[in-house]
């Protein structure tokens, strides 16, 4: 679960004689205080260069603090160096020289600190890519943050997600939500947190989350998280809920009945599995393996072909995690619709028929539409929307996938089972459905929370309602919805909150 290679090393306190210049060398250049960045340089080279510089009368600091004037790095990747520096919460960073090792070698050769020239500087890359959001402006709402799939704080967010899940299993909503929000804030940062100070102005972080961050910074891991991961109840619920069709309630029920493994469940005659769960067990190995982007595209082609055969003017869109640019997902999500309002239900049924005739439908649960505009707005948010939809397991042939299937080494089959979701809203509801199904879940939660708390509006997958004006706000595109909410548009690939 933790990636040991990215774990920060526990910081050692420097021994006093190392702390500044050693007694035998005399500091000659008092207004230059060098810090050598160990990343890419390595610790033995750093020690060697430190001793060399000190023997020539340079002051070399062991710790990066605001006292440092010259930061020297062998890291040629400016953006990653700057990200790291920004994570160190320095007040003086803008005053420091951030220099390539060539400044250091020039200075050693000359026996004095040479004047800093442009060629020595490691410049911060183009603002668009590298300027981190100023800490003070990070919003408490995920829909006001831009979160790509790059997560610079995975060691913390992985830990928070375990804690959130554990609270969820115990139905303790407050802390569960708090850890989810904290994880989401850290995911949005373009820099990695290197010390607790760097988090002090961030929203959604509290005493408990900070304690976990501090522990991970110091020890590389959180003991509270390790305890959960080793806990039998947590492990069992995690295992059971990994089966398609098994939610926390069912998992809990089985656990209380003494079930601890899949074979316990399958051997227990009094446990009745529904159709979804039966298929979940039957295809467990395949559908618990991540779906790749190439596999998602291949499925897109299959569905597209089916849709074209039914009606040429139908609309098909990839949504869910793949629309957000994820490389892997647990399923593939599509929206299908047609300009003919009222045709949505039969469109889905037609698609299912075609897949069935092709012999590639391994499982299908179809839910007909219960959508009724006159029952809106809905004041309590329901997990499911009311559109026609189906949850499928589709047989995908490897020959259709560019680069082949995502398979284990030992598996020599030329097909795999993949989970696919299709939802079919009426065309005039398309924008709301697309926004709702693109996710992430945290992004959606915060969109609705923002609408309610900041705008007195109700948003769900069906509509946006303005409580002040007592009217529905129409939208053709996602941009229209963001505009109604007075939010800057956030691209799908920036919604990985």
Active site residues: 331, 333, 421
Taking CB within 5 to 8 Å according to partner kind, which of Mn ion, ligand CTP, none is near residue 61?
none
Strand 361-367 vs strand 291-292: parallel, antiparallel, or unpaired? unpaired
Distance CA 71, CA 52 (A): 16
Taking CB within 5 to 8 Å according to partner kind, which of Mn ion, ligand CTP, none is near residue 230?
none
Taking CB within 5 to 8 Å according to partner kind, which of ligand CTP, Mn ion, none is near residue 436?
ligand CTP
Task: Tell whether residue 440 is a contact of ligand CTP (CB under 6 A).
Answer: yes
Which regions of 78-189 does DSSP assign to beta strands (E)? 97-100
DSSP string, 469-481: TTEE---SSHHHH
To ligand CTP, the closest distance from the beta carbon of 92 in angstroms equals: 41
Distance CA 456, CA 435 (A): 19
Binding mask 141-180 for ligand CTP (x = CB under 6 A): ----------------------------------------
Q: How far is CA 242 from the centre of its chain?
A: 19
Task: Tell whether residue 331 is a contact of ligand CTP (CB under 6 A).
Answer: yes
Task: Tell whether residue 461 is a contact of ligand CTP (CB under 6 A).
Answer: yes
Positive or negative, the Cα torsion across 316, 322, 325, 327?
negative
Task: Tell whether residue 344 is a contact of ligand CTP (CB under 6 A).
Answer: no
The encoded tokens of residue 46 equal 């750093």
Task: Tell whether residue 478 is a contact of ligand CTP (CB under 6 A).
Answer: no
Q: Which of 53, 46, 31, 45 has the alpha carbon at shortest distance from 104? A: 53
Task: Tell whether residue 330 is a contact of ligand CTP (CB under 6 A).
Answer: yes
Q: Map residue 254 onto helix, strand or coil.
A: helix
Measured from the CB atom, is 250 or 367 closer to ligand CTP? 367
Distance CA 488, CA 432 (A): 17
- Other residues' Cβ atoms within 10 Å of the Cβ of residue 341: 11
Residue with tokens 């600091």: 61
To ligand CTP, the closest distance from the beta carbon of 198 in angstroms equals: 28
Task: Tell whether residue 320 is a contact of ligand CTP (CB under 6 A).
Answer: yes
Task: Tell whether residue 439 is a contact of ligand CTP (CB under 6 A).
Answer: yes
Distance CA 279, CA 418 (A): 12
Task: Tell whether residue 425 is a contact of ligand CTP (CB under 6 A).
Answer: no
Measured from the CB atom, is 120 or 419 closer to ligand CTP? 419
Given a contact cutoff of 8 angstroms between Cβ atoms, the answer to whether 429 and 387 are in contact is: yes
- Other residues' Cβ atoms within 10 Å of the Cβ of residue 281: 15
To ligand CTP, the closest distance from the beta carbon of 286 in angstroms equals: 15
Measured from the CB atom, is 362 or 420 closer to ligand CTP? 420
Tell me which of 333, 385, 446, 460 binds Mn ion, using CB under 5 A.
333
Given a contact cutoff of 8 angstroms between Cβ atoms, the answer to whether 187 and 496 are in contact is: yes
Taking CB within 5 to 8 Å according to partner kind, which of Mn ion, ligand CTP, none is near residue 87?
none
For the CA atoms of 203, 206, 208, 213, the dihedral, rounded to the nearest 10 degrees, stands at 50
Taking CB within 5 to 8 Å according to partner kind, which of Mn ion, ligand CTP, none is near residue 437?
ligand CTP
Tell me which of 329, 425, 426, 492 binds ligand CTP, using CB under 6 A.
329
Residue nearest to ligand CTP according to CB distances in the complex: 439
Measured from the CB atom, is 329 or 425 closer to ligand CTP? 329
The encoded tokens of residue 39 equal 């990343």
Tell me which of 308, 379, 441, 456 binds ligand CTP, using CB under 6 A.
441
Pick out residues in 382-421 that bind Mn ion (CB under 5 A).
421
Distance CA 67, CA 20 (A): 12
Tell me which of 87, 113, 280, 320 binds Mn ion, using CB under 5 A.
320
Distance CA 261, CA 259 (A): 6
Q: Provide the binding-site residues for Mn ion, judged by CB under 5 A.
A: 320-321, 329, 331, 333, 421
Q: Provide the binding-site residues for ligand CTP, judged by CB under 6 A.
A: 320-321, 326, 329-331, 333, 384-385, 436-437, 439-441, 444, 461
């Amino acid at each position: 679960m933790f990636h040991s290679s990215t774990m920060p090393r526990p910081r050692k306190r420097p021994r006093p004689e190392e702390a500044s210049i050693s007694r035998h060398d005399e500091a000659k250049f008092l207004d230059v205080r060098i810090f050598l960045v160990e990343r890419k340089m390595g610790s033995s080279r750093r020690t060697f260069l430190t001793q060399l510089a000190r023997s020539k009368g340079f002051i070399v600091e062991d710790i990066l603090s605001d006292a440092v004037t010259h930061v020297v790095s062998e890291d040629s990747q400016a953006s990653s160096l700057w990200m790291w520096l920004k994570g160190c919460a320095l007040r003086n960073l803008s005053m420091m020289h951030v220099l390539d090792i060539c400044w250091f070698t020039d200075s050693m050769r000359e026996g004095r600190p040479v004047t800093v020239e442009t060629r020595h500087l490691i410049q911060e890359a183009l603002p668009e890519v590298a300027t981190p959001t100023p800490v003070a402006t990070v919003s408490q709402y995920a829909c006001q943050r831009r979160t790509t799939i790059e997560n610079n704080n995975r060691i913390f967010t992985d830990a928070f997600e375990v804690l959130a899940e554990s609270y969820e299993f115990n139905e303790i909503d407050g802390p569960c939500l708090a850890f989810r929000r904290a994880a989401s804030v850290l995911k949005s940062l373009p820099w990695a947190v290197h010390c607790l100070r760097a988090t002090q102005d961030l929203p959604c972080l509290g005493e408990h989350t900070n304690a976990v961050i501090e522990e991970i910074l110091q020890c590389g891991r959180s003991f509270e998280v390790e305890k959960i991961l080793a806990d039998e109840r947590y492990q069992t619920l995690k295992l059971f809920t990994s089966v398609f069709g098994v939610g926390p309630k069912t998992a809990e029920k089985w656990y209380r009945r003494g079930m601890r493994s899949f074979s316990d469940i399958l051997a227990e005659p009094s446990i009745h599995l529904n159709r979804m769960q039966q298929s979940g067990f039957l295809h467990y190995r395949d559908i618990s393996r991540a779906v790749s982007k190439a596999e998602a595209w291949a499925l897109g082609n299959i569905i597209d072909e089916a849709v074209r055969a039914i009606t040429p003017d139908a609309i098909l869109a990839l949504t869910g995690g793949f629309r957000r640019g994820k490389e892997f997902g647990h399923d593939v999500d599509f929206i299908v619709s047609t300009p003919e309002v009222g045709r949505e239900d039969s469109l889905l049924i037609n698609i299912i028929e075609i897949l069935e005739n092709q012999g590639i439908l391994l499982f299908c649960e179809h839910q007909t539409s219960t959508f009724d505009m006159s029952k809106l707005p809905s004041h309590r948010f329901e997990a499911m929307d009311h559109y026609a939809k189906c949850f499928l397991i589709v047989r995908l042939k490897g020959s259709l996938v560019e680069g082949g299937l995502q398979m284990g080494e030992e598996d020599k089959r030329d097909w795999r089972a993949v989970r696919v979701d299709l939802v079919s809203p009426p065309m005039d509801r398309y924008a709301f459905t697309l926004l709702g199904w693109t996710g992430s879940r945290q992004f959606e939660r915060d969109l609705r929370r923002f609408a309610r708390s900041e705008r007195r509006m109700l948003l769900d997958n069906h509509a946006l309602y303005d409580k002040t004006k007592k009217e529905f706000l129409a939208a053709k595109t996602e941009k229209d919805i963001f505009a109604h909410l007075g939010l800057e548009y956030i691209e799908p690939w920036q919604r990985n909150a």
